[in-house]
Amino acid sequence: MKARLIKRFEDEIVALERELNHDLPKEIQRARELGDLRENAEYHAAKERQTLVQARVSMLRQRVSEIQLMSLDRIPRDKAGFGSKITVTESSRTFVFELVMPEDANPDLGLISVASPLGRAFSGKEAGEEVIVTTPAGSREFEIVKLVTIHDEE
């Protein structure tokens, strides 16, 4: 899990660096050739994109270094935590969630941030436990029917 996450971030860094060092300079040069930079929307858009890409690369590098330093020993082996896949039931419906870093969250895919209300409610829980989560839409009650931790996947 840890290696897979680092690889995904490093792949994104490579793609963004290509954009930053190859594609964006060409766009900026083309926009400069259009003339007056004060009213040149293409130039300003390319410069803004350049700033955003630089910030994203910086954030990804920091996240990779944090993940490399992350001690898996601190993640419980028998309770939900980062990297856990949790199968839950709610009113006879079954859901599978994976607890991920906030930037990887995608509720439509079942990827739940460990910092979200659901993620915080599930963290530290075991299979068989009932979990009540207060959400903006009201309380939801889940039962954890299966738990696969990050340690089980390795």
Q: What is the 3-state secondary structure (H, E, C) of the chain?
A: CHHHHHHHHHHHHHHHHHHHHHHHHHHHHHHHHCCCHHHCHHHHHHHHHHHHHHHHHHHHHHHHHHHHHCCHHHCCCCCCCCCCEEEEEECCEEEEEEEECHHHCEHHHCEEECCCHHHHHHCCCCCCCEEEEEECCEEEEEEEEEEECHHHHC
Residue 46's CB is within 10 A of a number of other CB atoms, namely 21
* Reported pTM: 0.61
Return per-residue pLDDT of the chain as tens, 154 residues. 567 778 888 999 999 999 999 999 999 898 888 877 778 888 889 999 999 999 999 989 988 887 777 766 666 678 898 888 999 999 989 999 999 888 788 999 999 998 999 999 999 999 999 999 988 888 999 999 999 887 765 4
* Boundaries of every domain in the chain: 2-70, 74-153
Question: Quick one: fold of 74-153?
Answer: Chitinase A; domain 3 (3.10.50)
Query: Residue 56 is encoded by which pair of tokens?
Result: 């994203």
Q: How much is the pLDDT for 154?
A: 47
Query: Residue 82 is encoded by which pair of tokens?
Result: 């980062």
Identify the CATH assignment for 2-70 out of 1.10.287.180, 3.30.160.20, 3.30.56.10, 3.30.300.30: 1.10.287.180
Residue 60's CB is within 10 A of a number of other CB atoms, namely 18
